Amino acid sequence: MINDFKPTVSAVSSAVEKVDADALVLGVAKSPEGPVLLPNPLADKAAKGVADSLKALGASGSADQLLRLPGVDGFKSETLVLIGVGPLTGEPDGGVSPEALRRAAGSAVRQLSGADAVALALPAATVEQVSAVAEGAVLGAYNFPHFRGSEEARSKTPVAEIAVLTELKDKHTKQAVSRAAVVGDAVRATRDLVNTPPSHLYPESFAETVLQAAKSTKVKTKVWDVKDLQKEGFGGLLGVGGGSSRGPRMVRMEHSPSRPVAHIALVGKGITFDSGGLSLKPSNAMTTMKLDMAGAASVAAVVLAAAELNLPVKVTGWLCLAENMPSATAQRPEDVITIYGGKTVEVLNTDAEGRLVLADGIVAASEEHPDAIIDIATLTGAQMIALGNRTVGAMGAEDLREDLVDAAQEAGESLWGMPIPEEAISTFDSDVADLTNTGAREGGMLNAAAFLREFVGQKPGADPKALDPESQRIPWVHLDIAGPSFNSKGPWGYTPKGGTGVMVRTLITYLESAAKA
Ligand code: BES
Ligand code: MN
Ligand code: ZN
């Protein structure tokens, strides 16, 4: 979307002697007996030279360990590279999980940045394994040089040509590899948007970027500017965005195949910078707050990927874009705003802004009666306290939540179901409006979900007298990605520093399973 760089990835079934790459990568796993070289029949000859000397070479099999050896005589590849895969699982399939392969492939490609072409001779005996290796590799081929000063730095690209060595050559293998390319593009686009500084990414430019990206596809788009938002009463976006000289936007995206089997709505928090507003954040808490649009970025990337993959599911994406700034026109603590659709909220803390813009988006999405609504947001600091920096919290309708957790498991992402306690919503009681925007501090991630649920519409034909009113709502799940959306520590596996693109793969996998159901 922002970056034109796209690695090419292909399945190659020729013996490794013939493969002309800058590096040939073999996998080393940890076993109880020490490091073991993982099999790939196409690389038998290259493997012979190193299999018995792993210990002597210092290869441990630990994840992310990369060793470069001089190329072996008779091979075209200049270097032989050993990448650690981590411990064997003891499973009969060779003992490496798809996620271990993804990480190993990604780690190798990431660390080999500077090389043009890389051939991966990791285990690739099944379509699932080929898919994992290809996906990990394209996820590892990432950099973000656009804001460097020198031409030289800006022109540095990651590994551009990836070959996955496999004896398989059926159409499922080819499909798996081209799917991996689409998934890689989606994740990298999300990372780019997250990494783009707030000087350059603000509601208008975000909307413009998405429109540009959708132009060459069948995805339909609609943008509400400030006037449109006022006319239709999007009080959450207007309240949050009111303090900025760069006004808010709502973007609707639509992928509509001819005979859709379901309609899934995705709603993303898109705060292009969260200063806290008048409830100003301390300076330390403000750095990284360019990440606060990661939800909207992933929604945009997933809708485009759904179109690219021709999924027979209708997908609508709602990007709730605003910049949260303090100024004379900013909303004040104690203001009352009217969310799209009419519910009122007393804003007690202007830093609890994500739920306000999402409320507008969830009500708007509900009006179209989708079969399910999934919102994704960097919503609470409490998410990190509860689940850390690598595990996303999922709250809401049980069946949908479990389907998403299953999709995450398949995609290799960490998603954990969390409850919405029954007492949570009463902590939002306001003296003057329908709700306040701040609930109890304890269980802050769960409470925020209780607030959002108030804005989820009823199913068509809902029974207003139903004993369990929650059962009458459109199935909805809230994903809190506050911590996992951004990696402030060192890179690992296929995950770079900075924006991660977390949940993009899970959402694509979920849409694929919805397409099959
Ligand atoms: N964008 C933040 C949440 C966040 C914090 C994301 C750190 C990523 C890293 C959100 O808008 C926020 O400020 N939440 C407040 C809510 C509180 C005022 C009720 C929080 O979590 O402290
Ligand atoms: Mn905030
Ligand atoms: Zn925020």
Output the six-digit token pair for 335.
């203001």
Distance (angstroms) between ligand 2 centre and the Cα of 348 equals 12
Is there a contact between 383 and 390 (Cβ–Cβ < 8 Å)?
Answer: no
For residue 438, give the ligand 1 atom closest to its CA. Answer: 19
Output the six-digit token pair for 220.
């339909």
Look at residues 111, 101, 255 and name the one whose alpha carbon lies nearest to residue 180: 101
Q: Note down pLDDT in tens along the chain; length 517 residues.
A: 777 799 999 999 988 888 889 999 999 999 999 999 999 999 888 888 899 999 999 999 999 999 999 877 777 888 999 999 999 987 765 689 999 999 999 999 999 999 999 999 999 999 999 999 999 999 999 999 999 999 999 889 999 999 999 999 999 999 999 999 999 999 999 999 999 999 999 999 999 999 999 999 999 999 999 999 999 999 999 999 999 999 999 999 999 999 999 999 999 999 999 999 999 999 999 999 999 999 999 999 999 999 999 999 999 999 999 999 999 999 999 999 999 999 999 999 999 999 999 999 999 999 999 999 999 999 999 999 999 999 999 999 999 999 999 999 999 999 999 999 999 999 999 999 999 999 999 999 999 999 999 999 999 999 989 999 889 999 999 999 999 999 999 999 999 999 999 999 999 999 999 999 8
Distance (angstroms) between ligand 2 centre and the Cα of 5 equals 32
CA angle 457, 458, 461 (to 5 degrees): 150
For residue 378, give the ligand 1 atom closest to its CA. Answer: 6
* pLDDT score of 93: 58
In a domain, 384, yes or no: yes
In a domain, 479, yes or no: yes
Distance (angstroms) between ligand 3 centre and the Cα of 345 equals 17
State the CATH number of the domain containing residue 497: 3.40.630.10
Output the six-digit token pair for 297.
């970025």
Alpha-carbon gap, residue 313 to 438, rounded angstroms: 36
* pLDDT score of 92: 60
The tally of domains found in the chain comes to 2
Q: Please, which residues have CB within 8 angstroms of residue 150's CB and are 6 or more apart in sequence?
A: none
In a domain, 265, yes or no: yes
In a domain, 182, yes or no: no
- Whether residues 201 and 155 share a domain: the answer is no
In a domain, 252, yes or no: yes
Alpha helices per DSSP H over 196-335: 203-215, 226-232, 235-241, 283-286, 294-308
* pLDDT score of 94: 65
For residue 380, give the ligand 1 atom closest to its CA. Answer: 21
In a domain, 511, yes or no: yes
Query: Which residues pair with residue 342 across a beta bridge?
Result: none
Tens digit of each residue's pLDDT (9 = 90 or more) over 224-269: 999 999 999 999 999 999 999 999 999 999 999 999 999 999 999 9
Q: Whose atoms come closest to the Cα of 448: which ligand?
A: 1
Query: Would the pTM count as exceeding 0.85?
Result: yes
Q: Which helix (H) or strand (E) holds 115?
A: none
Indicate if the alpha-carbon torsion angle 416, 131, 144, 250 is positive or negative: negative
Which of 194, 287, 380, 447 is the pocket-test mutation for ligand 1 (most atoms within 8 Å of CB)?
Answer: 380
* pLDDT score of 248: 99
State the CATH number of the domain containing residue 159: 3.40.220.10
CA angle 382, 388, 390 (to 5 degrees): 125
- Whether residues 163 and 218 share a domain: the answer is no
- Whether residues 246 and 287 share a domain: the answer is yes
Q: Whose atoms come closest to the Cα of 272: which ligand?
A: 3
Of the candidates 110, 133, 168, which is a domain's last residue?
A: 168
- Whether residues 112 and 35 share a domain: the answer is yes
For residue 441, give the ligand 1 atom closest to its CA. Answer: 19
Alpha-carbon gap, residue 480 to 449, rounded angstroms: 9
- Whether residues 394 and 317 share a domain: the answer is yes
Long-range contacts of the stretch 69-73 (C-beta < 8 A, 24+) = 71/24, 72/45, 72/46
Of the candidates 168, 202, 227, which is a domain's last residue?
A: 168
Give 150: exposed, middle or buried? Use CB within 10 Å, 0-12, 13-18, 19+. Answer: exposed
Ligand 1 contacts (CB < 6 A) are 274, 292, 349, 351-354, 378-382, 438, 444, 482
Catalytic residue numbers, as ranges? 281, 355
Collapsed DSSP state (helix, strand, coil) of residue 250: strand
Whose alpha carbon is nearest atom 14 of ligand 1?
Answer: 380
Q: How far apart are the first and last CA of the chain?
A: 31
Alpha-carbon gap, residue 303 to 219, rounded angstroms: 8
- Whether residues 212 and 106 share a domain: the answer is no
Is there a contact between 225 and 248 (Cβ–Cβ < 8 Å)?
Answer: no
The DSSP output letter for 492 is: B
- Whether residues 333 and 441 share a domain: the answer is yes
Query: Which residues pair with residue 480 across a beta bridge?
Result: 377, 393
In a domain, 451, yes or no: yes
Query: How many other β-carbons are positioned within 10 Å of the β-carbon of residue 326?
Result: 17
Which of 240, 324, 351, 478 is the pocket-test mutation for ligand 1 (most atoms within 8 Å of CB)?
Answer: 351
* pLDDT score of 431: 98
Indicate if the alpha-carbon torsion angle 271, 357, 481, 503 is positive or negative: negative
- Whether residues 331 and 277 share a domain: the answer is yes
User: Which residues form the domain of 426?
Assistant: 193-459+475-516
- Whether residues 329 and 430 share a domain: the answer is yes
Q: Where are the beta strands (DSSP E) in 143-248?
A: 161-165, 220-224
- Whether residues 143 and 224 share a domain: the answer is no
Is there a contact between 272 and 203 (Cβ–Cβ < 8 Å)?
Answer: yes
- Whether residues 393 and 428 share a domain: the answer is yes
In a domain, 402, yes or no: yes
Of the candidates 152, 168, 184, which is a domain's last residue?
A: 168
Alpha-carbon gap, residue 263 to 67, rounded angstroms: 48
* pLDDT score of 72: 73
Distance (angstroms) between ligand 2 centre and the Cα of 327 equals 16
- Whether residues 159 and 235 share a domain: the answer is no
* pLDDT score of 494: 98
Look at residues 396, 403, 450, 399 and name the one whose alpha carbon lies nearest to residue 422: 450
